[in-house]
Amino acid sequence: MPVDATFAAIQSKVKTLVSYTANTISFSGNTIADSAGGFKFPANQRIKITGSAHNDTSVDGGYFVSAANGNVLTTEESLVAEAAGANITITWGPEIAYTDPRDAVNLGNFPCIVSALAPNIENTLRITAEPDPQIDESGLLRDEYTVALFVFLGNRTQPLNEVHAKAKPWAQAIAKVLAKDLTLGLNGTFLDVRDAGGGDPILFRYKVGAIAWSDGIYFGVTLLLPVVERLVP
């Protein structure tokens, strides 16, 4: 189904939110510094490092950044040192970004992102009398629907301040990667940011809080992305 291509395209965009490669990164104890000042990693998130001494592996598959101050990251774990001048890549994003709904999620894979058609939201199949130049040239049938991204960050039994701190940067980070290409790399599909009359266009709406799932109550961020897809007969 065409909507599956939308899910796959979104997954490809959000699976890595920040990636930085440089040979100016140094390690000492539990701090990572970049003399070039290129770090844009948020605190309270797990990063992964690739280098000669790393292969995307460390404690639980990454290091937890407890503080991010400019060009210095402080981790909860002691770091495996890399050689001075080595080419290092640091990434941040979900452990897994699924392209379809899941009945159950695994805490061991958190943070993870699940894509689905937004439940209980009315969608629209429209046939236009006049073509919309922003969408098509022939006034064809088009599907206007909402994709929900559920960002799972923790169990609701975890301390609220802990999961809330983890939630803060996700919406802005996802917005930055999606805003780079509103077509998602697809033909005839795009994120619907058209101005409906009054105010600046909206990329998506989001909320932070509990996520009720079939296997329990979790905490995270829920994003609602409006999508328009042109249907070819």
Domain check: are 6 and 57 in the same one?
A: no
Lowest mean pLDDT among 96-110, 147-161, 185-199: 185-199
pLDDT at residue 51 above 90?
Answer: no
Domain check: are 61 and 146 in the same one?
A: no
Question: What letter does residue 81 receive in the DSSP assignment?
Answer: P
CB neighbour list of residue 172: distance below 8 Å, 6 or more residues apart: none
Split at pLDDT 50, 70, 90, the class of 195 is: low
Instruction: Give the residue numbers spanning the domain of 223.
Output: 2-13+96-230
Domain-ending residue, one of 73, 92, 111: 92
Split at pLDDT 50, 70, 90, the class of 64 is: very high
Domain-ending residue, one of 92, 125, 145: 92
Domain check: are 114 and 184 in the same one?
A: yes
* Residue 130, pLDDT score: 61
What total number of domains does the chain contain?
2
The amino acid at residue 99 is T
For strand 96-98 and strand 112-117, is the pairing parallel, antiparallel, or unpaired? parallel
Domain-ending residue, one of 92, 109, 143: 92
pLDDT at residue 135 above 70?
Answer: no
Nearest to 209 by CA among 199, 196, 223: 223
> For residue 155, what is the domain's CATH number?
3.30.2000
* Residue 101, pLDDT score: 85
